[in-house]
Homo-oligomer: A and B are copies of this chain.
Amino acid sequence: MDDATLPSWRDTPTRRAIEAFVTGVATGPDAVPAEERVAVFDNDGTLWTEKPMPTQLHYVVERWREVALADPSLADTQPYRAAVTGDLAWLGAAVEKHYAGDDSDLGTIIAALVGLTDGLDVEQYAAAVSAFFRTARHPVLHRPYTELVYQPMVELLRYLERHGFTCYIVSGGERDFLRPLTQSIYGIPPERVVGSALGLTYDEATGSVRYSPALAFFDDGPEKPVRIWSRIGRRPLLAAGNSNGDMPMLDHARRGPRRGLALLIHHDDHDRDDAPYDAGADKALAAARERGYTVVSVRDDWASVFPAPS
């Protein structure tokens, strides 16, 4: 293989396994028709950084802060207090309570979350998200989020497309938060962004589609293969993720009639990645060998992590 095709990948067994799979799907006696070459990618932690917090949480906390500034009576109630003080530990504790079976604080978060878009039409929300990305900076790396994509994965998207694949994002994050920027940062258009969704309603008076104050579904774990079928109607040949919640999607691709390739990004680099971690990926890493996941080591397999500063 030509080094130039995946320049940010080191010449390791991982890269060679990817190249062998893609070449086998695209050419030769076992080639798959181009229209069936579908690849799906988790977003947070797979295509861009998700530490110290998912980008959407940064956006949401900023909006909550604005709400509390406009209505100071809210500043002593959660989640606005966390947003105003910048003490986000309460948010993390609410998620932990959820996993312990107590959804009281998570319910408070979701109500405040869906309140931010309630009544907006989809074009208004897209404009608000686009405005955020024009100025927001990563709190640790101090670069625009739009520059904190994983360069080797962007190269992999293009490499797959050159071999006839169609690539989709399948994010646990919220779909319409990503759609305004995926074309410019990943080369993936909005119709190929799958993700968690806010409720929608048609507004007869204006002919617009607006958000309702509800979550429609949370696109994680077993919901990912369901959303993939709903949106695409094909089983992927390649899936890439980085967490336990990606396991059903990885297994779904892996266990198709044509054995797919399942890539599991392992954030094991203590120098170049923003925050090495196994938390939330422990089950996937432990099961990788048995389930046939190809583990991608940030430390060993990637020659560079982020694009060079522009």
List the interface of chain A (C-beta within 8 A of B). Answer: 35, 122-123, 175-176, 179, 183, 189-191, 193, 197, 200-202, 204, 206-209, 222-226, 228-235, 248, 251-252, 254-256
Q: Known pairs A193-B233, A201-B226; list 18 more (Cβ under 8 Å).
A: A122-B233, A179-B233, A190-B233, A197-B230, A200-B226, A200-B230, A202-B222, A202-B224, A202-B225, A202-B248, A204-B222, A204-B251, A206-B255, A207-B252, A209-B225, A209-B228, A209-B229, A231-B231
| Distance from A83 Cβ to chain B, minimum over Cβ atoms (Å) | 28
**Given the contacts A202-B225, A222-B201, A191 and B232 also touching, CB distance less than 8 Å:** yes
Chain B residue numbers with a CB within 8 Å of A234 are 190-191
Query: Closest residue to A291 on the B side, CB-wise?
Result: B207
| Distance from A182 Cβ to chain B, minimum over Cβ atoms (Å) | 10
State whether B252 touches A202 (Cβ < 8 A).
yes
Chain B residue numbers with a CB within 8 Å of A251 are 204, 207
Interchain CA distance A235-B204 in the complex, whole Å? 15
Q: What are 17 pairs between A and B in contact, CB < 8 Å?
A: A35-B183, A35-B189, A122-B233, A191-B231, A200-B226, A202-B222, A202-B226, A202-B248, A202-B252, A204-B222, A204-B251, A207-B251, A207-B256, A209-B226, A209-B228, A209-B252, A231-B231
Chain B residue numbers with a CB within 8 Å of A252 are 202, 207-209
- Which one of B123, B232, B255 contacts A207 once the chains associate, using CB atoms below 8 Å? B255
Interchain CA distance A289-B255 in the complex, whole Å? 54
| Distance from A264 Cβ to chain B, minimum over Cβ atoms (Å) | 16
| Distance from A207 Cβ to chain B, minimum over Cβ atoms (Å) | 3
Interchain CA distance A99-B175 in the complex, whole Å? 35
Interchain CA distance A207-B253 in the complex, whole Å? 8
Chain B residue numbers with a CB within 8 Å of A256 are 207
Chain B residue numbers with a CB within 8 Å of A206 are 255
6 closest Cβ pairs, A-B complex: A190-B233, A207-B255, A202-B222, A200-B226, A209-B229, A207-B251
State whether B190 touches A202 (Cβ < 8 A).
no
